[in-house]
Structure formats: C-alpha cells, structure tokens
Amino acid sequence: MSATSQSPVQFKRAILKLSGEALREPGSTDNISPEIVARIAAEIRDAVKGGLQLGVVVGGGNFWRGASASARGMDRATADYVGMLATVMNALAVQSALEHEGVRCIVQSAIEMQNVAEPFIRRKAERHLEEGFVVIFAAGTGNPFFSTDTTAALRASEMRADVIFKATMVDGVYDSDPKKNPDAKRYETVSFQECLSKQLKVMDATAFSLCMDNHIPIIVFDMAPNGNVTRALNGERIGTVVNGG
C-alpha cells in the first residue's frame, strides 16, 4: 500500500475507531454533540453505499477515563467497567444517528445488556457485516485493563478486516508532537517496526502488537474536516498508513 499513489484502495471489510472525545464539541460541557454524531453518520452512510462492510468501535473518553479515575484512588477494574458503560452510551448515539440516515446497523456489547444491545458473538457479527449492517462494537473487550484501541485491533482480527481506520484530531503520525514542535515531520507511510523503535504513539502496545501480528494496516487520519471519514473509508490517500513496511 503506497500513500503516494493517487488511486484509491478498495477495502472489503474495515474497522473504524472513533474516540469518545471526537463526539464532543470542543469547549462544550455537553458530552455528546448530536450535530457531530450526525455528520459522522452521514459520512459513514456515503462510504458504505459502495458495499464496504464496516464495524465501528467508539471510545468513552467524553464521559469517563478509567485510568484517570484509578489514579485518583478508584479501584482500576471498577473504573474500567464504568468506562465500558460509557462506550455503550456513545454506541447507542451513533446507532441512532446512522438509523436516521437510513443505514442498517446494530450494536453488539461485550457486556450483556439485552434491552439495548445484542451480546457480542463473533459469527453473528460476521453475518451482520455480510448482510450489509454496520456493526457497532460497544463495551470494549468486556475486560478491564484493555483500551478501546485494543478492542479495535481485537475485533479487526476476529472479523478478518482488511484495515483499521483510526479517526483522530491530528492528520497522521508524526515523528514528534506537532503541537509542541512546529518542525515535526508527518509520515505518509511508516512501518510497524519503525513505530516501535521510535516509540511513535499510534496505539497502545497491546493493540499495536495485535495489528502487527495479524498483518492489519492502520490508517491514522484527521476526522475533523468535513468529508474526511468518507474519503478515508473509500480508500483515498489521507493521513498516515502504518503497515509491515
């Protein structure tokens, strides 16, 4: 996969990782912006028209961060479970917005809660994808001490996805923090090995190892500009491609 080529890449099945913070208007006290969620849903709608099979993993950081609560004295496992429930709230908001756009979708939760979501069952999730549903994977892995980045890598591996799209608030992977270093270099492509050796912050170590071991490329892109989610999912060359090199 070459990020310098202008021809789009056709993916059959992908996982889109959304951060919880991406659903919040910057500076707002509201945890979820219906307008932002609606825009994301409309862009997903445009992307799946061509037959892309899409799973979505959404974080919960707009509501809760387990690691931060643990640092302030809360039991870490309990704090992480609270964070998993936060992802369910975000997943339901995304589901509602997608349905408003006419997109068939379903939420599967790693923590069973029958009134609001299906339990996560791998073969059932695959069948939903094959039937054209967007599957939103909620409640993380169902286990404490694992991030939603790891959830994205795990579900991508289980679903045999071609790629993970990591939607962030920066336009790719840099060799240093672009907010602190104006001379920071953005990579168009970078290998897993280079990310490890240079300690580039792509995903947490567990998630990154899963992607590397299962040969799943990660595309890191800025979701803020209008249309970028659609462009990324349609295989246009934006952001940074992390692969085997």
146 annotated among ligand-binding-site residues: yes
65 annotated among ligand-binding-site residues: yes
Q: Which two tokens stand for residue 137?
A: 């994977």
27 annotated among ligand-binding-site residues: no
162 annotated among ligand-binding-site residues: no
The 3-state DSSP class for residue 78 equals: helix
What CA–CA distances, in Å, run from 17 to 4, 164, 180? 23, 7, 25
Cβ(229)–Cβ(56) under 8 Å? no
Residue 181 buriedness (CB in 10 A; 0-12 / 13-18 / 19+) = exposed
177 annotated among ligand-binding-site residues: yes
239 annotated among ligand-binding-site residues: no
61 annotated among ligand-binding-site residues: yes
Among residues 118, 107, 91, which one has the least CA distance to residue 37? Answer: 91
Give kind and range of the element (H or E) at residue 70. Answer: helix 66-71
145 annotated among ligand-binding-site residues: yes
148 annotated among ligand-binding-site residues: yes
189 annotated among ligand-binding-site residues: no
Among residues 142, 148, 125, which one has the least CA distance to residue 54? Answer: 125
119 annotated among ligand-binding-site residues: no
55 annotated among ligand-binding-site residues: no
73 annotated among ligand-binding-site residues: no
17 annotated among ligand-binding-site residues: yes
Cβ(88)–Cβ(94) under 8 Å? no
| All residues at 6 or more sequence positions from 166 whose CB lies less than 8 Å from its CB, including other chains | 17, 149, 152, 202, 203, 218, 219, 220, 221
144 annotated among ligand-binding-site residues: yes
Q: Within 13 A of 126's CA, how many CA atoms are on the CB side?
A: 8
141 annotated among ligand-binding-site residues: yes
Q: How many helical (H) and strand (E) elements, i.e. helices and strands, does the chain have?
A: 8, 9
The binding site for UMP comprises 60, 80, 141-148
The binding site comprises 17-20, 60-61, 65, 80, 141-148, 168, 174, 177
The binding site for ATP comprises 17-20, 61, 65, 168, 174, 177
